[in-house]
Structure formats: structure tokens, C-alpha cells
């Protein structure tokens, strides 16, 4: 069944496919209209055709995966197709990137040519106006001469009439010349008009080509990302399809079988065993990091366990608490025993909010420097972010802003008093202004080079014609007030529109005056505009809403965390005592009789069924002259089973381990050192010197240097009362909740526990 995410992916792929087809058709039309394509355009056309195929295959994969009928072999074939498509994509993407860059450069060149053509056309218009004015002036002069000639003749002044007539003839010659110049100016203007029209068309075509190349690059990038995601999903779908129907995906995704298995006898014991091993591992690591012995290390580990058990946050487990402690130790460079709130905040920030370990540790560092708890510092930072975004009305990213503020260090942090709220406000202000605190710091340092800075300022005023006043910015830079430096530098009246309309020299000079390159200033102005535009679509925030956003998790992560929390709570009930038992067992494993221990631990549940054979075993051992050892082994087995075998849940396994340990102890006795208690009946002791009859009351002791009068000491018993009580408590809790733990080997039921807490072998 298709999920909303799958539908969205399919819609996006269809859009990419349509865009690719449109792109290919556009180039075909260009080829038809112009008769040819250049090399870059041909490359883009070929890649557009490839993009059509890529997007088609991705869409095919999505439809295959969500159909609910996909077989693993079909998915494998599609994985192979998508993997094959990946081989040449990096090269094609590089070509698209190069073509986009070239097209953008060509666009800028044609824009410059258009500007020149416009200026030349304006000049030609002005020249034509001048020529037309000259013609009009000469014509006016000629008319004046003609009027003067008529008047002179009326006055019978022939000399004046001849003079004016001569001047008129000269003016007529000049008029002819002026008209020719006017005609030349008109022709030049027509040429300039044609040149401007051509430059306009070329510029528009270059813009179009630049957009096409850019869109092709973006579409290809989107297709590559979609293909990568689809490959991951296909691989998962393949694994699922190999063993189950698609309808079982939900059960597989949420590990339903794992939860069911948790409440079997084996599952409960596995949780206890895993928790004990994990507890011991954490304790050992604590000891190594802190220099603590076993007792102190176990105390710290127990404190971490208490933190996990008392926390309502499902992400706070013993494992995560230990991990949080290690993160804080690593990032601070020192070791410490942290409070529960500190560890919980570190876990929340990393496991729920998604900060990295060093970013989250930055919150703790601020708590130390300000004397507040990590929880208070985090809340203050969130409150400062909410206030800043609501006030600035720009689209500040929540997690990125908090993360950046938490990582501010050195002089910047010192100048901001290591105040969490000021740090967040400063980072927010910087993002809203299209810059960063580090960039502002560099600008401030350039301002403090007074001679060079003032010279650059004056030069910028001269080239741009714009007033610039950086005195307050210099003063703020001297005081380390980065926020004021940011505001002053961005309050110099420069906008993206103004910057775009400046010539290159003016752009460079203005950028230099405020300590930037022209590229950096262009990027900053662009980001400022984006910041303002992004904020128009956002709603106002509340602190409660932001704090809630920090702690939200997707359903999958929350479910997994809940399962881990449940395992942690159950497993850690007896993790400490059980860990001590494991230490005893591992000490037995260190000698040459480890095989006995392993076989005893795995086969303990079989002991009850073979008890009747123990007497026969003793007879056999006596027959092969091992009466003492045989009787001792029988005694160990019976004693261990009677004392431990009846315990609920784990009794048989513990009895098996004790039996193995006892057998190892018996086997460790040397032949010349032994002790026999009275009450075993009449016996005969056979030695190299002869046979000796013993009665039922005799005690036999053999050993080296017994003359000192030292009596054999009984081996001390391990005190497992605390562990046994905890196991009984766990079993009682599970019984009250109507659980029925079952011990299974594969599908065979070996034993069950009853509501009364007894343990019955199958």
C-alpha cells in the first residue's frame, strides 16, 4: 500500500519527468529554428534525454514497490537498473554544472553588451538631435537673409542686397552639408537601433539558456537524490519480500515479534543477561575514565541506572545515560558525575532534537559558565530564539540556530558574556542580516585598521556617490560589540537592487569599505532579501511550542525508544546482582575446566530428568576406581539442584552453572589431598602398601604437611540471596500481570512457570 511519502515521491518524479521532456523538446525546437546546437547545448540535450529515462525508471521502481505484489527477483532487477544508472551520473552532473556556469557567464556578457548597445543608441539619438538642430538653424538663417534681400531691394540698396545674396548662397552650401550629416546621423541611429534590437534578442536568449541550463542541473540533482532514496527503499523492500508478504511490513517495521519474544522465559533471561553485561561494561569504562575501583565505579553506574529508572523520558536509558556522560566528558575534556537533569537534557538534545554531541555539550558548558542548569540554559536559548524570530520576522531555522549558538566560542563568546540568550540573539540577528558572527568579526577587525578603512570608505563614497558613515561601527568593533557592528554595517543604505545597478568598480569599492569582497556582499544582500521573504509565510511562535518541537520524535524512533526503555527497565531490575554472579562464573571459566561450565549452563534444564541415573553414575565411577570423585559429583549435583533448581524463571540455568562450578572444584583436587566425612558405610582403602579396612565411623584425611594441626576448611558459599530475592520479585510482578513465561528451544517447550511461582519441566 502506498504511503503519503510514496505518493509525494511519485508526484515529484512525474514532475521531473515532465520537466525533462519539456527541456528536451525545447532544445529540439532551438535546433529546428537555428539549424544547429552548440556543443554545450548538445550535451544538455543528451543529458535531458537521459534524465527522462532516469525519472521513468525511478517512477517504475516506486510503482513496483508500492504495488503490493512485487517479488524479490523483480525488485532485484530494478535495483540493478538504478545502480547501473548511477555509474555515469556524476560525470553528467559535472557537465550540467559546467554548462550552467558557462550559460550564466554568457548571460552576464550579453547583458553587458546590451548595456553598451543601449548607450550607443542614446549617443546616436543625441547626435541626430544635434544635426537636426544645425539644419534648422541654417534654414532659419537663410530665411532671414531672404527677407533682408527683399528689404534691401525695396530700399534700392543694391550693395546690401548683393552682400546678403552672397551670404545666403554660402548658407545654402552649409545647409546641404548639414542635411547630409543629418542623413548620416539617421542612418547611424538606424544601425544602432538594429544593434540594440539584436543585443536585446541575444540577451533574452542568453537569459533563457541560462535558466534552461540551471533548471536542467536542478532537475538532474533532484533525480539523483530521488534515485538514491529509492535505491535504499528498494533494498529494504527486497529484504522484506524475500521472506514475507508486503502486508507484513508493519509488523517487521515495529519489531512485533521482538516484543512478543521479550516476555518468554528465554526473552526475560536474555534481557537480564544483556543488561548485566551492559552494566558491567559501563562500570568498567567508568573505572577507566575516572580512575575508580570496582566499588566506586559500580556506584556511578548504579546512579546512572537510577536516572534511567526515575525518568519519564523514554529515551533516557542506562545505555543512553552512560553515552551522554561520555559525550560531556569528551567535549569538556574533564570527567564529572553529572546530575540527572544534565544527563536528561543532553539525551533530549541529541536523541530527540537531533543536535550533535558537541553542540549539545555546548549547552552544558554554558550552564557551567552561567551557574544555571542545562535545562534552564536550553529553555533560555529556546525563549531567545522565539523572541528573535517573532521580532525579526524572518525564516530562522530553529535547530540550526540553536546549534550554531551552542558552538560559539573564543573571543566571540567572551564578548557576549557567554550569555545563552545573547548568543542566540546574536546568531539570529546575523542570519537575518545575511551574515555570520565570524564574518562580522572579520569585518570588525578590518575596520580597526583605521587608516586603510577610512581610505576605503572615502574611495567608496567617491565611486558610488553614496554617503557612508562607519564611525559607530568602528567604535562597536573596538568594544567587541558584534551585534552593533552587524547593524551599523548593514544600515549603510545598500540594497540588492542598488548593488545590482552599480558598475563593477563601485561594487568592489563599497564592499571593501565594509570589509567584504564584492562576492561576499552580493551573497549577503541576497540572503537578506531571502530572509525577509521567507518570514512572510511563517506564523508567530510561542516558547511552549518550540520546546515541544525540540522533544518531538517520529513514530518509528519513538516506538524503538519505547521498546528499549521497556527492556532497560526490566533488564536492569537485577542487572547489578546478576552481574556479580557473572563475575563468579567468568572466574570459573578462566581455568581449564571451562567446558564443564558451558555444558552445565546450557544443559541445566535436563538435570531433573536424569536424577534417577545418579546412583548408577556413582556405581560406575566406583567401578573405575573413582569412588571419591564420583560420590562428590553426585553430592554437588543433588545439592545444587535442591538449593537452586526450584527458583522461578532462571533456577535451572543457575543450578546448571553451580553444578559445573562444583564439578570443576572436585576435579581440581589432587589425588594425594582429600577428605572423607564419616557415615558412608564400610570401605576399603587400597594403597601401594596394602589394603586398610574402614568402618562407618572412620574419617579419612590425606594431604601434604598435615602435622601442623590445621583442619581442612570448608569452601565459602557465594551469597546470592539478593539476586534470588530480585528474581523472585520479578517473577511475582510478571505473574501478577498474567504473564506466562515459557522456556523454548526452537519450537519445543522445555518448561513453564505457574501462577504460584513454581517451575515445571515439560
More confident residue, 314 or 34: 314
Domains of the chain: 4-248 (1.10.287), 256-344 (no CATH), 573-669+719-761 (no CATH)
* pLDDT more than 70, % of the chain: 69
292-325 pLDDT per residue, tens:
998 899 899 989 989 988 888 989 999 999 999 9
pLDDT of residue 680: 47
For residues 667-695, average pLDDT: 53
Q: What is the pLDDT of residue 210?
A: 82
The pLDDT value given to residue 547: 93
The pLDDT tens digits for 175-226 are: 889 889 889 988 988 998 898 888 898 888 888 878 877 877 787 787 788 8
pLDDT the model gives residue 671: 45
More confidently predicted of 627 and 109 = 109
Q: Is the pLDDT of residue 644 over 60?
A: no
Tell me how many degrees the CA angle 149-151-153 measures, rounded to the nearest 5: 70
Predicted confidence at residue 608, as pLDDT, reads 44
| Higher pLDDT, residue 404 or 254 | 404
Model confidence over 76-101: pLDDT tens digits? 887 888 887 777 777 777 877 887 88
Predicted local distance difference test score (pLDDT) of residue 325: 95
What pLDDT sits at residue 620? 43
Bridge partners of 744? 749
pLDDT for 343 equals: 95
The residue among 753, 646, 739, 645 whose CA lies nearest residue 261 is 739
Q: Which three three-digit cell numbers place residue 628?
A: 571419591
Average pLDDT over residues 440-450: 81
What confidence tens digit (pLDDT) does each residue in 697-756 have?
555 555 554 444 444 444 444 444 544 454 454 445 444 544 344 433 344 443 344 433
pLDDT for the residue numbered 219: 76
pLDDT tens digit sequence for 568-621: 777 676 655 655 555 555 554 444 444 444 445 444 444 444 444 444 444 444
> What is the pLDDT at residue 639?
55
Of 186-195, 230-239, 395-404, the one with minimum mean pLDDT is: 230-239
Q: Sorting pLDDT into bands at 50, 70 and 90, what band is 548?
A: very high
Nearest CA to 216 among 473, 37, 69, 26? 26
Q: Is the pLDDT of residue 627 over 60?
A: no
Please tell me whether residue 748 adopts helix, strand or coil conformation: strand
- State mean pLDDT over 384-413: 89
Strand 759-761 versus strand 748-753 pairing type: antiparallel
- Would the pLDDT of 401 be above 80? yes
pLDDT for res 254: 56
Written as nine digits, the cell of 699 is 574419617
Residue 663 has a pLDDT of 52
Instruction: Provide DSSP, 540-592.
Output: PP-HHHHHHHHH---HHHHHHHHHHHHHHHHHTTSHHHHHHHHHHHHHHHTST
Mean pLDDT of 44-72: 76
For residue 296, the model assigns a pLDDT of 93
Residue 110 confidence (pLDDT) above 70: yes
Are the CB atoms for 331 and 357 separated by under 8 Å? yes
Q: Which percentage of the chain shows pLDDT scores above 90?
A: 18
Q: What is the pLDDT of residues 646-670, one digit of tens each?
A: 544 445 555 555 555 555 544 544 4
Count helices and strands in the chain by DSSP H and E runs: 32, 7
Alpha helices for 311-449 (secondary structure H): 318-332, 340-347, 357-370, 374-392, 398-407, 410-415, 420-432, 437-447
In the structure, what pLDDT confidence band is assigned to residue 530 with cuts at 50, 70 and 90? confident
- pLDDT at site 710: 41
Higher pLDDT, 503 or 688: 503
Amino acid at each position: 500500500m502506498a504511503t503519503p511519502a510514496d505518493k509525494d515521491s511519485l508526484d515529484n518524479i512525474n514532475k521531473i519527468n515532465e520537466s525533462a521532456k519539456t527541456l528536451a523538446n525545447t532544445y529540439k525546437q532551438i535546433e529546428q529554428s537555428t539549424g544547429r546546437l552548440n556543443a554545450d547545448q548538445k550535451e544538455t540535450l543528451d543529458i535531458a534525454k537521459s534524465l527522462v529515462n532516469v525519472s521513468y525508471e525511478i517512477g517504475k521502481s516506486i510503482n513496483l514497490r508500492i504495488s503490493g505484489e512485487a517479488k524479490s527477483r523483480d525488485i532485484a532487477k530494478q535495483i540493478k537498473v538504478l545502480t547501473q544508472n548511477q555509474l555515469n551520473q556524476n560525470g553528467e552532473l559535472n557537465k550540467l554544472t559546467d554548462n550552467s556556469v558557462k550559460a550564466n557567464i554568457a548571460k552576464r556578457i550579453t547583458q553587458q553588451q546590451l548595456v553598451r548597445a543601449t548607450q550607443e543608441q542614446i549617443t546616436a539619438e543625441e547626435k541626430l538631435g544635434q544635426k537636426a538642430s544645425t539644419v534648422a538653424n541654417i534654414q532659419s538663417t537663410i530665411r532671414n537673409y531672404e527677407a533682408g534681400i527683399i528689404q534691401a531691394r525695396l530700399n534700392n540698396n543694391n550693395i546690401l542686397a548683393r552682400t546678403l545674396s552672397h551670404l545666403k548662397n554660402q548658407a545654402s552650401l552649409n545647409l546641404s552639408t548639414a542635411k547630409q550629416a543629418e542623413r548620416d546621423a539617421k542612418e547611424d541611429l538606424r544601425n544602432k537601433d538594429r544593434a540594440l534590437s539584436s543585443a536585446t534578442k541575444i540577451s533574452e536568449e542568453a537569459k533563457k539558456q541560462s535558466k534552461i541550463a540551471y533548471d536542467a542541473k536542478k532537475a538532474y540533482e533532484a533525480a539523483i537524490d530521488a534515485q538514491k532514496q529509492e535505491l535504499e527503499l528498494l533494498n529494504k523492500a527486497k529484504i522484506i519480500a524475500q521472506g514475507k508478504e508486503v502486508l507484513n511490513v508493519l509488523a517487521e517495521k515495529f519489531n512485533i515479534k521482538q516484543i512478543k519474544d521479550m516476555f518468554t522465559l528465554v526473552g526475560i533471561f536474555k534481557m537480564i543477561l544483556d543488561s548485566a553485561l551492559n552494566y558491567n561494561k559501563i562500570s568498567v569504562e567508568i573505572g577507566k575514565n575516572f580512575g575508580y575501583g570496582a566499588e566506586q565505579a559500580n556506584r556511578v553506574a548504579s546512579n546512572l541506572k537510577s536516572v534511567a529508572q526515575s525518568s519519564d523520558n523514554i529515551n533516557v536509558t542506562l545505555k543512553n545515560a552512560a553515552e551522554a556522560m561520555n559525550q560531556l566528558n569528551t567535549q569538556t575534556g574533564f570527567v564529572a558525575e553529572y546530575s540527572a537533569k544534565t544527563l536528561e537534557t543532553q539525551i533530549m538534545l541529541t536523541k530527540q532534537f537531533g543536535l550533535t554531541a558537541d553542540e549539545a555539550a555546548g549547552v552544558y558548558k554554558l550552564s557551567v559558565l552561567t551557574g544555571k542548569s542545562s535545562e534552564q540554559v536550553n529553555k533560555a536559548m529556546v525563549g531567545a530564539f522565539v523572541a528573535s524570530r517573532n521580532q525579526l520576522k524572518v525564516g530562522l531555522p530553529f535547530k540550526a540556530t540553536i546549534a550554531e549558538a551552542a558552538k560559539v566560542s573564543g573571543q566571540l563568546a567572551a564578548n557576549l558574556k557567554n550569555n545563552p540568550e545573547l548568543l542566540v540573539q546574536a546568531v539570529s540577528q546575523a542570519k537575518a542580516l545575511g551574515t555570520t558572527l565570524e564574518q562580522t568579526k572579520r569585518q570588525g577587525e578590518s575596520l580597526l585598521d583605521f587608516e586603510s578603512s577610512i581610505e576605503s570608505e572615502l574611495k567608496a563614497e567617491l565611486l558610488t556617490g553614496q554617503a557612508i558613515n562607519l564611525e559607530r561601527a568602528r567604535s562597536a568593533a573596538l568594544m567587541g560589540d558584534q551585534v552593533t557592528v552587524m547593524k551599523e554595517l548593514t544600515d549603510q543604505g545598500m540594497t540588492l537592487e542598488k548593488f545590482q545597478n552599480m558598475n563593477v568598480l563601485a561594487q568592489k569599492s563599497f564592499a571593501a569599505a565594509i570589509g567584504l569582497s564584492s562576492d561576499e556582499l552580493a551573497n549577503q544582500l541576497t540572503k537578506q532579501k531571502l530572509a525577509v521573504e521567507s518570514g512572510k509565510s511563517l506564523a508567530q511562535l510561542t516558547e511552549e511550542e518550540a520546546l515541544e518541537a525540540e522533544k518531538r520524535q517520529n513514530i518509528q524512533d519513538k516506538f524503538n525508544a519505547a521498546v528499549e526503555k521497556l527492556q532497560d527497565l526490566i533488564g536492569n531490575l537485577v542487572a547489578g546482582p546478576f552481574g556479580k554472579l557473572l563475575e563468579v562464573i567468568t572466574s570459573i571459566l578462566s581455568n581449564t575446566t571451562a567446558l564443564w561450565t558451558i555444558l552445565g549452563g546450557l544443559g541445566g534444564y535436563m538435570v531433573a530428568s536424569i536424577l534417577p541415573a545418579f546412583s548408577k553414575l556413582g556405581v560406575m565411577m566406583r567401578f573405575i576406581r573413582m569412588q571419591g570423585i564420583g560420590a562428590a559429583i553426585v553430592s554437588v549435583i543433588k545439592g545444587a539442584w535442591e538449593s537452586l533448581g526450584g527458583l522461578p524463571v532462571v533456577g535451572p540455568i543457575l543450578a546448571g552453572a553451580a553444578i559445573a562450578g562444583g564439578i570443576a572444584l572436585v576435579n581440581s583436587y589432587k589425588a594425594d589431598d582429600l577428605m572423607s566425612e564419616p557415615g558412608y558405610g564400610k570401605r576399603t582403602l587400597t594403597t601401594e602398601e596394602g589394603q586398610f579396612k574402614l568402618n562407618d565411623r572412620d574419617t579419612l584425611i590425606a594431604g601434604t604437611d598435615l602435622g601442623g594441626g590445621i583442619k581442612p576448611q570448608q569452601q565459602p558459599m557465594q551469597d546470592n540471596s539478593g539476586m534470588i530475592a530480585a528474581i523472585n520479585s520479578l517473577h511475582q510482578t510478571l505473574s501478577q500481570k498474567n504473564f506466562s513465561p515459557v522456556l523454548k528451544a526452537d519450537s519445543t517447550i522445555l518448561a513453564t512457570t505457574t501462577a504460584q511461582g513454581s517451575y515445571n519441566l515439560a
